Structure 1
Amino acid sequence: MANDGFDFSPGAQIPLQGSGGQAVATNALASAAYRDSDVAEILKANSEWHKSEVKPGSSKLFKSDYFKPNLGEAFSRAVQERMLGGARGALIQSFGSDPQTVVEHCLSATRLRKARDTRLTMVTAVFGLAFLPGLVLWVLAFRLRDSLNKSKDKAFQALGGVLLVAVGGVAAFFLITMPLTGLLALYLRAMVIAPLIGWVLAKRIAESSAKDMRARWEGLLSGAGVSAKIPEAVPKNPNETAREALRQGLEKLSAEQQSNSVFYAGAKGVLGMGTRWGSWQLAEELVPKDPTKEIHQFRSWDVVRAIHDQLKMLERGPLNTGGFPTPSVKHWIVSPVGENADSVSRPSGEDVATFQIKPHEIQRICNHQQFSSGDRHYLGVQFTLWDGQLVITMLITVTVLHETLRVEVTGHALGPVHSLFLSKPAAETRTVKKSVRFWETRTITLPLVKANEVVRLALRAPLTWYPPLLDYFGGKIVLPEPFGLRHAWAAKPWGHRFMADDAMRAATPVLRVVHSAAMRVLEDHGVDTERFNNRSMALSGMVQDAAPKKADVYDA
């Protein structure tokens, strides 16, 4: 098939940073790969239609938070597996962002974590596994302290801190008063102290990695131009099959992003474009202007082509006031899927090449598939605004049934990336009472990497060579399906006053351009346009209603 087993690129290339005009949305999503917050934070970004899940580990033997991934680890793993996996399903286009850049940052973050985990594994092997009994005792002490800290009783919370001090005291007493001598005594003493030395070294490695990750997180959201470094995606010789497969996976992802087929999922609207908030239909009878003559024959494609040419001129206006940016005008083939469909499949066959439906097939669908089953043709004009945070799409479809011509214009709006992805890293602080002036308080900054985080990283490090094992022990993020990076975590645009204004302001000029182009075709083919003009004037008044509706939710 055209979409499978095809190399979409000319050769090995170094992946570049995302395209301009979409930087904010792209960088916000990419920043999730470097975050060190709790994995459950992703649930805050769930929308009405698209809900991620955090699946806990399946292991009953190792039910411990020490194997639980943080947000960046789980996000990077889930996105890579879904978007580059060998048996992955079809993806939804990420309008307003560059999904390849996001995936590249996930790969880059994973590479950085693997380098960190390699060093931590060496520390764990030398200071932990070689002195396993001591390591187990210290891990149990940390585990017991964490369990006490989760208690709602403050007395038990305080007991958790006292516990570690007590264990340390017992260990020191054991070192000093141990009655044994010889190699066994040396080993037992080392068994107590070696895990502590390993913990100090692991803490320095973890802090260095955390600072680097947070700098990249901060840089992406500040527009500092953080680049993703993934040398493993550039093959150096024909025998490096893994690198070649990764390179082709990235190229396939980029090619699918440019596909001209989309999916209509009921009340969810067009997947990737957002829900339909407005619909305006111009439908009148085709009557000849001269009763003694017949209408000159034309097809839907003739009207669509005229509308297409006129929409290209939207950026031009009579006044020098800025106005519309250059729009993207494109022919779309829309496939219907169920509102609760958990997967989609793209068209395939001889009429499809590299995810693109060929022009002759687009024209055939436009002229003939206007009723009953099958895909439908829509002409779309799309504006990507607010650096990718707002995507406005107006879809136009032209149908002719018997003697009635219908020109329908619908408005779709995809809102900004959820605010969770726009939050910058902040140091964790705590307010405490002053020791002398106890009636006053002061704010202290907590360590960047806490003690239990060092233990977590050190225990996970030896298992990073096989990620499914970490999923089994610690859990993972389950992405919403059908999956697309942009629409999965998009908020509604109507909460932002200016974004809402932009979406509704675009409807009126687009509608009038569509009607004007359609009228010109009708007049050229001898159609009486009086009724069409009257109806167009009525719609011009209706489109000025400053209230978006749920146009796909029918009260029936």
Structure 2
Amino acid sequence: MSKLDMTPGAQIPRTDAGPQTAVTQALASVAYRDGEVDAFVDTVQPSVTGKKGRFTLLRPNLGEAYSKAVIARTLGAGRKPIVPSFGTEPRMVVEHCLAAEEVRASRDRRLMLVTLLTGVLFLPGTLLWLIGFRLRIWLRAAESRREGLYGPIVVTVLLAVAALFAWKPPFGGILGAYTRVVMLVPVLGWFVAKRICLSTTKELRARWTEVIDGNAVAVVPQAVPRHDQDERAAQLKIRLTELSMEQDTNVLHYAGVNGILGLGKRWGSWELVEDLRPAEGHEDFRTFHTWDLVKKITDRLNTLGRSDVGNGGVPNSSVEQWVIMEVGAGADEIGRPGGPDMDGPRMRDHAVVNIANRQGFGVDGPRHYLGTQFVLNKGRLIVSVLVTVTVLGNTLRVSVNGHTLGPVAGVFHDKPKPKELTRAKTGKFWEEETIQLPLITNDEVVRQALRAPFLRAPGLLAHLGGTMKLPEPFGLRTAWATAPWNSRFMADDSMRIVTPVVSGVLAATIDFLTDHDINTDRFTNRGLIMRAEMQGVRPFKSDVYDAW
């Protein structure tokens, strides 16, 4: 996929797909879908349900509900902080939601005109047809056989009434002429609306396919100010920029047994613990701060991309200095510090160094973690290996912890499929046949036509039709992540990548201690024990303790 780097400077097209395209495309594709919301929610977030609407004919479909929910949560005024989505590009997902909403808004503007001319102006006939459709929906919900028997009867009765009014209206004059067409014009409007809905559905499905295949780029003209007074576009552009900046935050949150939000649950832990003693021939060792050792380990981990063996370098790795705060496992929102130590959503470097040196033992507040992150399988797998350095008394402890965030649910990667029905053959009930169903049903045309006039009143439409609720604390990547251990390859990658990190941490620690005149014999022995443990790495529930 080709894209432009929109930061200041020369605009150089990038032709590489990058390591995180698959999940980004999967999340963005939902904005263009046309399925049922309930089926999707039951699959990916059964414990989080949205608000039910008051009228079935005004309910949103999956793409409509998802786009509005994501846009409101990521770009809404006064929104809560968002969990960073490692391995994805949240701005791209939101831009696709905006693009999908623009396509639907264009459809709704045309449908609104059709509804006003053929529906509102001929309201008595329109109401009769709506009652008929509502009766069919009720029969379908009550019992499928009953709908199959009485559904055609309802339509036949309405057609008979329309024909009767057209043939012999009960009134004369202008009112009689109006009565002749009062039930026919809504039918004409339905045919026009169906053509509009069908063309839009085909366009959305084509975009859905292109996004999954990685060939679509969202076009968001509403984020480009047309003139100096275009404050709406300017504000949208600012909020998109803020979303991108928040993705680059270095302040994360540990949610107990749920692990670190954005990084996943902890599945492994390795400790290097030993007393600090002067090396032979020295009365005392050279003092140091914990940040000094962290910096040494950081420099060593930055070399993981290089290897003496061909193709042995670790791909798609990054080393970050993270500040992690604690929140409850059931917390529904997160927060970040403010003040001069913060540069927007990111903590300044000097504040990170101070937190690392203070260590934070026995006090509330953020703690420092050195993180090495690997974006693997096109963003489907995020493996983070975190290192903490503490010194209590004269005892040095270097902890290495593995966190893994698995792929999103498989339903996100689905491609559009033709609507089909398998049934028994007429006359040969022992054989089955598959028939193609239309993309747009009669009920769907009515639903979209009824929602169109609420284009300028989204709040009222949400109240009447219902909404989709997103999991909190919300992050596009972490909200729908699944466990990686069901995939053999992902499980192997998660466990194998820890070994070079642990080796790098051990080597950097020994070198650092040697430079500071510290006896390394015991540390070397402890390191050999850690290497022995790495021979049989197994994931376990590291944050679940069998204690009372």
Coarse TM-score class (shorter-chain normalised): over 0.9
Report the RMSD for the aligned CA atoms in angstroms: 2.0
Structure-2 residue corresponding to 1:220 = 211
1:457 to 448, 453, 460: 448
Which residue matches 2:533?
A: 542
Amino acid paired to 1:119: R
> Match of 1:40?
38
Task: Return closer, same or farther for 1:16/1:354 CA change in 2, 3 Å cut-off.
Answer: farther
Q: Does the 8 A contact of 1:95 with 1:273 survive in 2? A: yes
- SS at 1:487 equivalent: coil
Give a deviation string over 1:466-510, Cα, whole Å, max 9, x none. 211111001111111111000001111111110110000011111
The equivalent of 2:139 in structure 1 is 148
Q: Deviations over 1:416-469 (max 9, x none)?
A: 111111111111111233335454332111110000000000000000212111
Give 1:237's aligned amino acid. H
C-alpha distance after superposition, 1:315-354 (max 9, x if no partner): 2122113441041111001111111111111121111113
**Aligned residues of 1:385 and 1:391 also touching (Cα < 8 A):** yes
Is 1:413 matched with 2:404? yes
Offset at residue 74 of structure 1 (A):
0.7
Alignment correspondent of 1:245:
235
Given candidates 349, 352, 355, the residue that maps to 2:342 is 352
Determine helix, strand or coil for the equivalent of 1:319.
Answer: coil
The equivalent position to 1:319 in structure 2, one of 299, 302, 309, is 309
1:99-498 to 2 correspondence within 5 Å? Answer: 99-152=90-143, 154-223=145-214, 225-290=215-280, 293-372=283-362, 373-498=364-489
Q: CA deviation at 1:9?
A: 7.6
How many angstroms apart in 1 are the aligned matches of 2:424 and 2:174? 49
| Counterpart-to-counterpart distance in 2, 1:189 and 1:326 | 70
Conservation of the 8 A alpha-carbon contact between 2:268 and 2:538: no
Distance 1:417 1:534 in 2: 41
5+ residue gaps, structure 2: 1-5
| Cα distance, 1:358 vs structure 2 | 1.3
Provide the C-alpha distance between the structure 2 equivalents of 1:411 and 1:541, rounded to a whole number of angstroms: 17
Task: Deviation per CA, 1:501-520: give whole Å up to 9, x if none.
Answer: 00000111111110110111
Deviation sequence 1:26-53 (CA, Å, 0-9, x none):
0000001111110113323446xx9532
The number of residues matched between the two structures is 539
Give the conservation status (yes or no) of the 8 Å contact 1:18–1:98: no
Contact 1:40-1:54 within 8 A present in 2 as well: no
Q: Name the SS of the counterpart of 1:248 in structure 2.
A: helix
* Structure 1, unpaired ranges of 5+: 1-7, 58-62
Aligned equivalents of 1:323, 1:22: Cα separation in 2: 19
Q: Would the aligned equivalents of 1:280 and 1:543 in 2 still touch at CA under 8 Å?
A: no
Task: Return the TM-score normalized by structure 1.
Answer: 0.93
Tell whether the 8 Å contact from 2:276 to 2:519 is kept in structure 1 after alignment: yes
Q: Distance in 2 between matches of 1:323 and 1:494?
A: 24
Q: Please identify, of 525-534 and 496-505, the stretch whose mean Cα deviation from structure 2 is larger.
A: 525-534
Partner of 1:60: none
Q: Displacement of 1:356 after TM fit?
A: 1.9
2:88 aligned with 1:97, yes or no? Answer: yes
Distance 1:155 1:263 in 2: 54
In structure 2, the residue corresponding to 1:215 is in which secondary structure?
helix
One-letter code aligned to 2:301: L
Greater shift, 264-273 or 143-152, is seen at 143-152
Structure 2 equivalent of residue 20 of structure 1? 18
1:55 to 51, 54, 58: 51
TM-score, length-scaled by structure 2: 0.95
What is the identity, as a one-letter code, of the residue corresponding to 1:395?
L
Once the two structures are superposed, residues 107-164 of structure 1 have per-residue CA deviations (whole angstroms, 9 ceiling, x without a partner) of 1111111100000000000000000010000000000011111223624442123221
Question: Structure 1 residue 529: deviation in Å?
Answer: 1.2
Structure-2 change in CA distance of 1:51 and 1:511 (3 Å): farther
CA contact (8 A) 2:57 2:447 kept: yes
- For the residues of structure 2 that align with 1:19 and 1:80, how far apart are their CA atoms? 25
Provide the rounded CA distance (Å) in 2 between the counterparts of 1:292 and 1:532: 17
| 3-state secondary structure, aligned to 1:330 | strand
Amino acid at match of 2:105: K
Instruction: Specify whether residues 397 and 494 from structure 1 end up closer, same or farther in structure 2 by C-alpha distance, changes over 3 A only.
Output: same
2:170 and 2:162 map into 1 onto residues whose CA distance is 14
CA separation of 1:125/1:240 partners in 2, compared to 1, >3 Å: closer, same or farther?
same
Identity over aligned pairs, percent: 44
Tell me how far apart the structure 2 counterparts of residues 161 and 319 of structure 1 sit (CA, whole Å): 73
- CA distance in 1: counterparts of 2:172 and 2:512, whole angstroms: 102
Give secondary structure in 2 for the equivalent of 1:55: coil
Conservation of the 8 A alpha-carbon contact between 2:166 and 2:181: no
Relative to 1, partners in 2 of residues 1:300 and 1:141: Cα closer, same or farther, differing over 3 Å? same
Contact in 2 for aligned 1:206/1:457 (Cα 8 Å): yes
The corresponding residue for 2:57 is 66
Letter in 2 for 1:337: V
> What whole-Å deviation, never above 9, does each CA across 1:301-325 have from its counterpart, x for those lacking one?
1111111011011121221134410
Aligned letter for 2:540?
K
Specify the SS of the correspondent of 1:489: coil
Tell me how far apart the structure 1 counterparts of residues 337 and 249 of structure 2 sit (CA, whole Å).
Answer: 10
Partner Cα separation in structure 1 for residue 147 and residue 32 of structure 2:
34
SS of residue paired to 1:534? helix
Distance (whole Å) between structure 2 residues aligned to residue 53 and residue 16 of structure 1? 40
In structure 1, the residue corresponding to 2:477 is in which secondary structure? helix
